[in-house]
Amino acid sequence: MPTADETPPSLPADALLIGVDGGGTGCRARIETAAGDVLGAGVAGPATTRLGVEAALASIMTACRGALAEAGLDEADFARMRAGIGLAGAGRKGAIEALQAAPLPFCATAFATDGLIACIGAHSGLDGGIVIVGTGSFGLARVGGREHKVGGYGFPVSDEGSGADLGLQAIRLALRAHDGRVDRTALLAEVMHRFGDDPVEVVAWMDKATATEYATFAPLVMRHADNGDPIGRRIVQAAAEQVDGLCRALAERGAPRIALVGGLSSAIEPWLAPDVRRRLKPLDGDAVSGALWMARRNG
């Protein structure tokens, strides 16, 4: 991967770039000219190697064809496009090699993880880090062309401070409140109400629940915390301390600035420690912008 100090190659005036952000819940693609003008965008279903490389590539091409149609181009135009593709699960052993071996219609293709393109997009290719706070959580920084990752080993053993973790803590404490081991606050009462106030239903749900399903409780926890519920505040403050830790770990690895990304990022930011909040910066661009940055440098 080129470093931020490298001058991007001069592209022909008629060159086209296509950037793809392939995630676990959906895939986005965008076509731009060499001058940075947006021509078209497309979307598709999940694009993650967890579904298999073939399925991931099918979603990628569906999103790319959607962008192509919006741009008023045809499939022959793929041959003059440089592609940057970020993909969930691309860091798995053998994934990049399998992706590179697949026949794709672009004149040049660069692959990376979805986290890396989000980091590149957030800082316009300059040194910096991101902390993703959504269903899961992890931190990633790119400093001097080197990638550093902290956390994100998977729920429930990791992903501290995430939406799934908020849900887990709320359900755990709701069961304790049902037993009389902690006070039953409005938050814990509402959590148990979702299960008909029956802990047997909680256990039955737990046996099949995914991280995404645990994360559906996160907005409830945040709402009660913002309304002063003491248990809600305790859960959110503990989550914020975990996010603080991710940010500080990236700063220790040399990230000069950090951006928060993900569905819970704006909600958790006010709960972060002052020293961490001083390190934060707004996003320069999205993950697709990072993929396009990569495409531009893939000569």
Query: What sign for the dihedral angle of Cα 190, 193, 199, 205?
Result: negative
Given this model, what pLDDT does residue 169 score?
98
Q: Could you confirm whether domain 16-124+284-296 is CATH 3.30.420.40?
A: yes
Given this model, what pLDDT does residue 246 score?
98
pLDDT per residue, tens digit, the chain (299 aa), is 444 445 566 787 778 999 999 988 889 999 999 889 999 999 999 888 888 889 999 999 999 999 999 999 999 999 999 999 999 888 888 888 899 899 999 999 999 999 999 999 999 999 999 999 998 999 999 999 899 999 988 899 999 999 999 999 999 999 999 999 999 999 999 999 999 999 999 999 999 999 989 999 999 999 999 999 999 999 999 999 999 999 999 999 999 999 999 999 999 999 999 999 999 999 999 999 999 999 998 75
Question: What CATH number has the domain spanning 163-277?
Answer: 3.30.420.40
Given this model, what pLDDT does residue 1 score?
44
Given this model, what pLDDT does residue 90 score?
86
Structural domain boundaries of the chain? 16-124+284-296, 163-277
Given this model, what pLDDT does residue 4 score?
47
Mind listing the pLDDT tens digit for each residue in 229-242? 999 999 999 999 99
Given this model, what pLDDT does residue 217 score?
97
- Looking at every residue in the chain, the average pLDDT score rounds to 93
Is there a shared CATH topology between the 16-124+284-296 domain and the 163-277 domain? Answer: yes
Rounded Cα distance between 225 and 133, Å, is 17
Q: Which residues contact 182 (CB under 8 A, 6 or more apart)?
A: 173, 176, 188, 231
